[in-house]
Structure 1
């Protein structure tokens, strides 16, 4: 039998690239078809393709990117202190409220962010109720600013007001600091836009009992608590340190508890503090985030670097910052909707668009980037274990390094993908993967689900055009 006859006598193995219509027609004829999701590089934009070709061959960019990633990997964040925001956050003012994502005005803010600001104004005793808080927020008396422009990160709405206690993270390799509020737990919480009496009372308890207790405990620890080490161990124990923090929270609890017990704090308060941490599986999120922030801040400002050092969203806009493109230069586009699992009683249309600074974890190469080593996360955000492994593997295509500090057991302990390169994102047409919670679009309701989302490609397109100027 000739080769050509042999070919046509065998069962066809059909691979379809492009539109699904051909696949659908073939399947109607009883054929098995594998659909390959493919798009032309840079979406077929000739101008962007030419820029990608030009920038890809530049040795100075390659060297700058390697330096940027080296700084991120060599950074060593520790928890040094807990203090009020007004005392430690650079540039913080009595009339300032920090928020997640790129800059935004009150009038454009999403429902959960407005709700969190209302709660913060009531918490600060600047307003007595919701209506008064709305008037103050709209009056121009309050200065709103992105957390990321003040060495700070905040989950979801990301609201930080002057009296709120924050974790103080010190990068002992490069000497810079970062900050994040204390995680309130799940349910009706400020970060999801809730502001009822229960939320305000919890915030006051964190300020008046919890934070002073942790501060006293930390004062007894000579070198602080090694957050980098806990992230590394947590990833080996099934956490991805964004939406799953059970192991890392437990490790942190084990580290700090003896020092809490050594303080002179009243035993009743100590019991409440330990109970709060024990019951809050998400506590470590507000430590992993500023740990990642300390590393990416240290790596920002490297001339000729095309590495992303910030990904953040405010429920309206998604913004990125690039190491070689200015300290506070944002590249923004409308935030995407999250796809995932809804809590009982809620529908997809109830959710706000993507919101929060917690994507700093993915910027550092953990979170969604290491989902392949955190199989339990799919029960929270949707998908399958196979999907999670696929996402982790795919992220190597758009990054420039592998971070052996945070290795993935299910990938034979391969280091996590680190250093999102705007050139590679445009060249491959692959976007970073982020796993995240969903907030209700209406202020005051809270969390309604969790899922997966990507940044808009437009952010990366704007950045690469700017880089080419």
Structure 2
């Protein structure tokens, strides 16, 4: 990575200058115009509901039924297949959602704001691991948890933030990295830090839910990364990647210099993968979710040097962590001015952004740390692994950039 070559890129400068603040938790319909109008959002690039993978379809059916837009999940999917539901990728509506990423109007979302620009981004709250909606689980326990999140968790977090005031997410990231997180598959330190800031204003049940959910900070990291990359959008000529998103069928990317256009290719299975006992490779759903926004920002799999302990959970060797991050610096757009990686034997700036031209030139794809959904609905999470977006998406994006 040659930072000097990129100092003139206004997209990279905007990314470096972004200072995401967590400012509120609100019902999604109060934040997202598409949802206020009765639409539904989902992870990844655009996809017709009939082509959605089974976990996403299950999540869509449950969420739409809970919204009162259909009598039950079966009727909800019939509406979707008939084209009677307005569907939109989260990214195209200004936000992100993990795994299936299905978001409806009543769901509480984290709201982040960049004070310098006034730009905002949003992300739903994290349900926890295992049998949860975002992995395609759809039983009564899942529905009850979502209702509690809507009625209790969201308003409680909003009230706590009203007392604390905005939380500086860069400061939280910096400390979480020092404590061994990489901000995607290992977020326990970030979760504890966030909890401790809000704890004096949280009811006991909400406090326990956050503490028991080591992935709670993932969605905070996602909204932070999304907002920073929103700040870097729409800079002519820039090959900075502003989105990597997966819907379980295709993976799409966006570049700053090509605006709202998606460039897509087929979603792959995780490789390597660390599966829970009782599951095998044939059970895995292909790459799914918007959480790769963390890697697009430069953390997650690109920051594994700070978090060797995250390696086994995605099928990697902890001893390889520092070398992995060093190799990935070849596709980084720059170095982060405020975040450092402090893993064993390492003290270096975090990578800042991904340069699509470098990806094509070096033939090195940005890896993504991910949870793995069972390919059948109703099961939920079955492990964690590493996935890669398709090279053809980067090649098409760079070709389009050159044609502008």
TM-score bucket (shorter structure): over 0.9
Measured in 1, the distance between the counterparts of 2:185 and 2:139 equals: 25
Measured in 1, the distance between the counterparts of 2:47 and 2:17 equals: 33
Measured in 1, the distance between the counterparts of 2:8 and 2:254 equals: 16
Residue 379 (structure 1) aligns with: 312
Measured in 2, the distance between the counterparts of 1:179 and 1:254 equals: 22
RMSD over aligned Cα atoms: 1.5
Tell me if 1:185 matches 2:122. no
Measured in 2, the distance between the counterparts of 1:277 and 1:331 equals: 36
User: 2:34–2:40: 8 Å Cα contact kept in structure 1?
Assistant: no
Encode CA deviations 1:111-170: one digit per residue, 9 max, x unaligned.
111011011022213334332222122122211100001110000001110110101111
Structure 1 residue runs of 5 or longer lacking an equivalent are 1-58, 261-269
Measured in 1, the distance between the counterparts of 2:73 and 2:102 equals: 16
Residue 246 (structure 2) aligns with: 313
Secondary structure of the 1:303 match is coil
Tell me the matched-pair count.
398
Tell me if 1:333 matches 2:265. yes
Residue 152 (structure 2) aligns with: 209
Secondary structure of the 1:168 match is strand
Residue 37 (structure 1) aligns with: none
Which of 49, 59, 70 is matched with 1:106 structurally?
49
Tell me if 1:344 matches 2:287. no
Residue 237 (structure 2) aligns with: 304
Which of 358, 361, 386 is matched with 1:452 structurally?
386
Which of 153, 163, 178 is matched with 2:96 structurally?
153
Residue 21 (structure 2) aligns with: 78
Structure 2 residue runs of 5 or longer lacking an equivalent are none
Residue 357 (structure 2) aligns with: 423
Residue 232 (structure 1) aligns with: 174
Encode CA deviations 1:312-345: one digit per residue, 9 max, x unaligned.
111011011000112x200000011102111111
Which of 128, 133, 140 is matched with 2:83 structurally?
140
Secondary structure of the 2:325 match is helix
Residue 250 (structure 1) aligns with: 192
Residue 54 (structure 1) aligns with: none
- What displacement does 1:71 show? 1.4
Distance 1:131 1:308, change over 3 A: same
Measured in 2, the distance between the counterparts of 1:183 and 1:192 equals: 12
- What displacement does 1:64 show? 4.9
- What displacement does 1:187 show? 1.3
Per mean C-alpha deviation after superposition, the further-off stretch among 296-305 and 128-137 is 128-137
Measured in 2, the distance between the counterparts of 1:258 and 1:172 equals: 26
TM-score, reference length from structure 1? 0.82
Measured in 2, the distance between the counterparts of 1:131 and 1:304 equals: 46
Tell me if 1:442 matches 2:376. yes
Measured in 2, the distance between the counterparts of 1:338 and 1:64 equals: 36
Tell me if 1:118 matches 2:118. no
Measured in 1, the distance between the counterparts of 2:223 and 2:92 equals: 13
Residue 22 (structure 1) aligns with: none
Secondary structure of the 1:284 match is helix
Secondary structure of the 2:181 match is coil
User: 2:136–2:380: 8 Å Cα contact kept in structure 1?
Assistant: yes
Measured in 1, the distance between the counterparts of 2:353 and 2:194 equals: 27
Encode CA deviations 1:80-128: one digit per residue, 9 max, x unaligned.
1111011112433343110011011101111111011011022213334
Which of 155, 169, 192 is matched with 2:112 structurally?
169
Measured in 1, the distance between the counterparts of 2:393 and 2:119 equals: 27
Tell me if 1:432 matches 2:366. yes
